[in-house]
A and B are shown apart, each in its own frame.
Chain A
Amino acid sequence: DSGVTQTPKHLITATGQRVTLRCSPRSGDLSVYWYQQSLDQGLQFLIQYYNGEERAKGNILERFSAQQFPDLHSELNLSSLELGDSALYFCASSVTGLNEKLFFGSGTQLSVL
């Protein structure tokens, strides 16, 4: 168990809908990262937060947004969902946010039908 908690584990929804994925980092970790992993692609970095502030942005679509709250948990919001958004979404956390050791959650499997 990495100590990173993601909910829900599975999410099935329809095209055009909006969903929210939730992540609680390891105790003491200030930084949260979101990654997308689909079958034909590796881990794609979406966005990073450190202590409530956005630190880095990767290949995140404009339809997607995220935030980190004062209690350090984070939410990833996906809207106007398309079939191609079906993927595993991982949250990871680290202590300082300087891209050192990342600890990953077990992921949320999103299926868009």
Chain B
Amino acid sequence: KNQVEQSPQSLIILEGKNCTLQCNYTVSPFSNLRWYKQDTGRGPVSLTIMTFSENTKSNGRYTATLDADTKQSSLHITASQLSDSASYICVVPLSGGYNKLIFGAGTRLAVHP
């Protein structure tokens, strides 16, 4: 079954601290994996796109990793800011195309001052 699982479900950290979010997937065949940030009451915004051959990709304070062998990805947030408070969603397209996206349930991150 094609699934995307994320952990933890929710996370609270203090401003300035780092954190790592996890994503495991069983989607096959695999072409790419995406991390989105969704602020409350807003649509998802793409953070990174990881293809099969990429191990690490950074976007500012966000760094995503991918291990295609173990089918795991992580999103590391460095020096967190209050504005990082949001849901982070891991998404894997089905069958190599984009018409069907498999969404993880998301990790709700709260950054406290």
- The answer to whether A and B come from one shared complex is no
**B-binding residues in A (CB < 8 A):** none
**A-binding residues in B (CB < 8 A):** none
